[in-house]
Amino acid sequence: MSKASEFIEALCRIEESGDVEPMARLFAPDAELSNPTIARPLRGQDGARDFWRSYRKTFGEVRSEFRCIASSDRASLLEWKSHGTLSSGAVFSYDGVSVIEHPAGLITRFRAYFDPRALGFQLEHAA
């Protein structure tokens, strides 16, 4: 199974049940995780747990769909669209790209790129 497939499977588990452990196991002890809403990258498997717990808590229901997946033995690029409901019940959707570096098998760097204004606008108007 490719690293991209493992990542997508672990993300589906987070979105369905909130279980972050399969995802955390994909990350190296010195991994770095970030996105446009985080001031400083999170690090390691504990950082991965925090990152993905925070992601899941943002939404009531969430489902990600992948439009394009490009993968090599060193890195994967995932173009995605996430949609669902916020904790308030309001509907949301946003899209972006994730870059996953995994040169030795474990993920050493995860970076999600999306327009935080688009998601922020939906969060503000749901309140």
Write out pLDDT tens, residues 9-63: 999 999 999 999 999 999 999 999 999 988 899 999 999 999 999 999 989 999 9
Beta bridge partners of 109: 32, 101
Task: Using the predicted structure, report yes or no on whether residue 8 has a pLDDT greater than 50.
Answer: yes
Question: Sheet of 59-71: strands edge to edge?
Answer: 42-43, 27-34, 107-114, 91-101, 75-86, 59-71
Q: What is the total count of domains within the chain?
A: 1
pLDDT band at 89 (very low <50, low <70, confident <90, very high): confident
CA 73 to chain centre: 20
> What pLDDT shows up at residue 126?
46
User: Cβ atoms within 10 A of the Cβ of 106, count?
Assistant: 16
Q: What is the pTM of this model?
A: 0.90
CATH number at residue 54: 3.10.450.50
Structural domain of 23: 3-126
